[in-house]
Amino acid sequence: MQKFTKDIEMNIIKGIAGTFKRHPGQLNNICEADAEILDFKDQEADYLVFKTDGIKEEINEGLYEDPYLIGWMAVTVTVSDLAAVGSEPIGILLNLNIPANPSNFWVENFKTGINEACNHYNVPVLGGDTNFDPALSISSTGIATLSGKKPMMRKNIHPGDLLYATGKFGQGSAFAYSRLINSSTKIDYKPYARLKESWKIREFATACIDTSDGVFPALSVLCNLNQIGVKIKNPIQQLLCNRSLAIYNSSPVPAWMFLAGPHGEYELIFSIPPSNKKRLELLSHDQNFPFIFLGEVIEDKKIAFITEGMGCISEISEISNMFYQVNGNVQEYYKMLFERHNQWLNKETAII
C-alpha cells in the first residue's frame, strides 16, 4: 500500500472529484464546507444542502461492532455535517450493505440505533438501498434546507477571531483507546450531532466545522483553507470530557493525544468575531449550551497549545497527517504520537 498523508489523500480525492461537472448554483468549492450547499431558488438565502458519508472504515478497523452504535452512527455522521452548515434536515437515505442472514439480535439493535437517532434529531428516513454482502458497510445521504439564513462554511475566518466548541473533546479517542489499545478499559461512545446548537450558532458564527475526524484535523482544515493559525488558550486537559478524563487519569496518554483524531466526537468548532463574544456567552447561558472557549485565530500558520504543563507548537497539518503516514496502523500511530510528545518534552517547549 502506498504511503500517503492526509494532504496527499485530499489531493487524490480532488484529482478524481475536481473534474466532475458542477452545478452553477453550488455555493461551496470542494472541501469548503462540511456539506454541499446549493442556491436553490435564486434567492440569496434559500438553499438546499446535501451530504453523503459512511462508516465503513470504523467497522473495518473493529471500532464499531455493536449494532446499536452502527445504526446510531450511520445517522449521526451525516446529520453532524448538515448541522455544521446550520441547515435543517429534510431526511436521510440509507445505503446498507449487510450480511444476508443477520441474527434477530443484530437486526433489532441496528434498527433501534437508527430509529433512536432519527427520533432524537427528528430526521425521517426517505429511502435507501439494501444489499447483502458479508462485509458490513453503511453510508447515508442527508438532504436539508436553509431558509432565511446564510450557511456556515469553513471559510471566512480571520486573525483575531475567537474559536469555540459545542462541548468538551476526546470521547472518540477514548473509545478508540478502549477498543484498540487497552481493552481492559471500557468506555461508552455515543456522540450527538449538534443540530439544535447549530441553528443558534449560525446567527453570528463566521465559520464552522465538525470534529468527526478529531479536533486537530478539524483545526488543520480551517487553518489550510483560511491560511491562518490557532492558539488554544486553555490547557488541553481542561477541554477533555469525562470519558476522556477517565482514560487520561489511568493511562500514560497525554491530554493533547485525545484531540489528535482520526476518530472524533462530533462537536462543532466555530469562529466568531470578538464583537460577538458577549452575544455568544449570553446564548450559551440562556439555552444551557455548554460552549467551550478554545482560543484565538492567529496570523502565524501554526497550532499552539498547552499540554502536561508545557507549551507546544505544531505545523498545521502535522498531527492530522500522522495517522496516514503509518497507513492507518493503529499501533504504529500510537507509538508515533508518543515519539512526537517526547520531542516536545525534550527540546521544543515554548512559552505561549
| 340 close to 322: Cβ distance less than 8 angstroms | yes
How many chain residues bind its own copies (CB under 8 A)? 60
d(CA 309, CA 199): 36
CB of 345 to its own copies, least distance (A): 33
The answer to whether 53 contacts its own copies (rule: CB under 8 A) is: yes
CB of 6 to its own copies, least distance (A): 12
Q: Pick from 80, 87, 109, 141: which binds its own copies (CB under 8 A)?
A: 141
The answer to whether 19 contacts its own copies (rule: CB under 8 A) is: yes
Find the part of the chain contacting its own copies (CB under 8 A) among 12-20, 193-201, 257-265, 296-304. Answer: 12-20
DSSP designation for 178: I
Closer to its own copies at the Cβ: 125 or 246? 125
Report the sign of the C-alpha dihedral through residues 242, 111, 64, 49, in that order: negative
Alpha helices in 85-188 (DSSP H): 104-121, 171-176
Closer to its own copies at the Cβ: 125 or 283? 125
CB of 57 to its own copies, least distance (A): 6
Report the site for its own copies in 232-251 (rule: CB under 8 A).
none
The continuous run of DSSP H or E covering 38 comes out as strand 36-39
The answer to whether 50 contacts its own copies (rule: CB under 8 A) is: yes
Find the part of the chain contacting its own copies (CB under 8 A) among 129-137, 190-198, 261-269, 330-338. Answer: 129-137
- Per DSSP, the residues of 181-231 read I-TTS---------HHHHHHHTTT-SEEEE-TT-HHHHHHHHHHHHT-EEE
Identify whether 262 is preceded by a cis peptide bond (ω within 30 of 0). Answer: yes
Find the part of the chain contacting its own copies (CB under 8 A) among 95-103, 146-154, 207-215, 240-248. Answer: 95-103
Helix, strand, coil fractions of the chain, as percent rounded to 5 = 40, 25, 35
Q: Which of 211, 210, 290, 301 is nearest to 258 (CA)?
A: 211
What is the CB neighbour count within 10 angstroms for residue 17?
11
The answer to whether 155 contacts its own copies (rule: CB under 8 A) is: no
d(CA 230, CA 223): 7
Find the part of the chain contacting its own copies (CB under 8 A) among 22-30, 182-190, 208-216, 248-256. Answer: 22-30
Closer to its own copies at the Cβ: 94 or 240? 94
Contact residues for its own copies, defined by CB under 8 A:
1-2, 4, 9, 12-13, 15-17, 19-23, 26, 35-36, 38, 48, 50-54, 56-57, 60, 90-91, 93-98, 100-101, 107, 110-111, 114-115, 118-119, 123-133, 135, 137, 139, 141, 143
